[in-house]
């Protein structure tokens, strides 16, 4: 392994370990100290939560190992923070990116597939606009939490466990008009094959929000279907970290390769909505449609 690659990997591992410990040595399994009530922003009318007593809602919050939360119309917490400094504020429903997706694609008559549904916050947001929603996640515990969250909001999307890097994907079950692909691609070990696979089950368009590699950071390469792709190797912690990919590492592609792969899959009308620098590196939000 090259020295620069080794240094990059070690830095990534240290960063992820600090993140996993919550920045203050707190275990991800520990219950963070976060208020039960008193929230005044991002409030939601939650059909089957608003009527619960405080005792019942507290019991609900402790039934599952929640890693994020929303606030009901009474300013009470439904769910939990991940750990100190991670998801410690109520999540917005719907997320602004979902509103943008609806503005661009008109989801009212569309079937939307959400990959990496986590605990259902975005799933609920999509269900507010889309004609039909399917949501998948590689972790069965996230599938269960998403089912519970959606049901208590009054929605019933189809939700099931699916690892995007399994050898053969259930393409019939994943078939959709629009793909909501946020915060997942940069956790995959083989993002190239995944992007090429989109043409097999996505009919109309994609929202992709992902980290990517700067040219100077893409120091490794791998070959897919006779073509070489450069990437930045990023350490993952598998199932030990609820915010990590399921493999030992992921590959961050360069932005030009991301867009080229989308075009190769037939999504050749690409809009770069924004680029932003985050703690772990550069990130892009883009929309891609078939011509």
The CA distance from 129 to 110, in Å, is: 9
Query: What is the b/e burial string over 232-247, where b = at least 16 CB atoms within 10 angstroms of the residue's CB?
Result: bbbbbbeeeebbbbbb
Using DSSP, state whether 63 is helix, strand or coil.
helix
Tokens for 95, please give them: 């997320």
Mean of the per-residue pLDDT values for the chain? Answer: 91
Q: What is the mean pLDDT of residues 15-36?
A: 52
* pLDDT bucket at 32, cuts 50 / 70 / 90: low
Q: What is the mean pLDDT of residues 179-188?
A: 98
Q: Which residue has the tokens 């991301």?
A: 258
Q: Which residue has the tokens 């750990």?
A: 83
Q: What is the mean pLDDT of residues 92-107?
A: 98
Tokens for 103, please give them: 């503005």
The CA distance from 48 to 155, in Å, is: 11
**Cβ-based burial of 105 (10 A; exposed 0-12, middle 13-18, buried ≥19):** buried
Question: Which pLDDT score is estimated for 18?
Answer: 40
As a whole-number percent, the residues of the chain with pLDDT over 90 amount to 82
CA-based Rg of the chain, rounded to a whole angstrom?
19
Q: What is the mean pLDDT of residues 78-83?
A: 94
The CA distance from 58 to 123, in Å, is: 23
The CA distance from 227 to 51, in Å, is: 57
Its pTM stands at 0.89
* pLDDT bucket at 240, cuts 50 / 70 / 90: confident
Tokens for 265, please give them: 């899959």
The answer, yes or no, to whether the previous bond of 241 is cis (omega within 30 of 0) is no
| Residue 282 CB contacts under 8 Å (≥ 6 apart), including other chains | 211, 212, 213, 214, 255, 275, 276
* pLDDT bucket at 31, cuts 50 / 70 / 90: low
Question: Which pLDDT score is estimated for 86?
Answer: 86
């Amino acid at each position: 392994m090259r020295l620069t690659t080794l240094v990059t990997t070690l830095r990534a591992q240290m960063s992820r370990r600090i993140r996993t410990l919550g920045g203050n040595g707190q275990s991800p399994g520990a219950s963070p100290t976060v208020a039960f009530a008193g929230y005044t922003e991002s409030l939601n009318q939650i059909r089957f939560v608003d009527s619960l007593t405080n005792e019942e809602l507290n019991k609900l919050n402790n039934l599952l190992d929640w890693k994020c939360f929303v606030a009901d119309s009474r300013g009470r917490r439904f769910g939990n923070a991940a750990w100190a400094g991670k998801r410690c504020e109520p999540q917005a429903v719907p997320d602004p990116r979902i509103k943008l997706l609806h503005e661009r694609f008109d989801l009212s008559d569309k079937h939307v597939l959400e990959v990496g549904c986590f605990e259902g916050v975005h799933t609920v947001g999509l269900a507010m606009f889309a004609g039909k929603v399917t949501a998948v996640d590689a972790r069965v515990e996230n599938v269960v939490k998403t089912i519970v969250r959606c049901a208590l909001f009054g929605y019933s999307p189809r939700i099931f466990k699916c690892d995007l890097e399994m050898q053969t994907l259930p393409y019939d079950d994943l078939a959709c008009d629009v793909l909501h692909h946020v915060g997942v691609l940069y956790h995959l070990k083989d993002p190239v094959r995944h992007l090429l696979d989109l043409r097999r089950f996505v009919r109309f368009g994609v929202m992709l929000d992902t980290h990517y590699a700067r040219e100077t950071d893409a120091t490794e390469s791998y070959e897919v279907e006779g073509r070489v792709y450069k990437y930045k190797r990023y350490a993952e912690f598998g199932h030990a970290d609820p915010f990590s990919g399921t493999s030992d590492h992921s590959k961050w592609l360069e932005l030009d390769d991301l867009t080229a792969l989308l075009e190769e899959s037939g999504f050749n009308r690409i809009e770069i909505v924004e680029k932003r620098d985050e703690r772990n590196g550069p990130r892009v939000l883009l929309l891609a449609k078939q011509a």
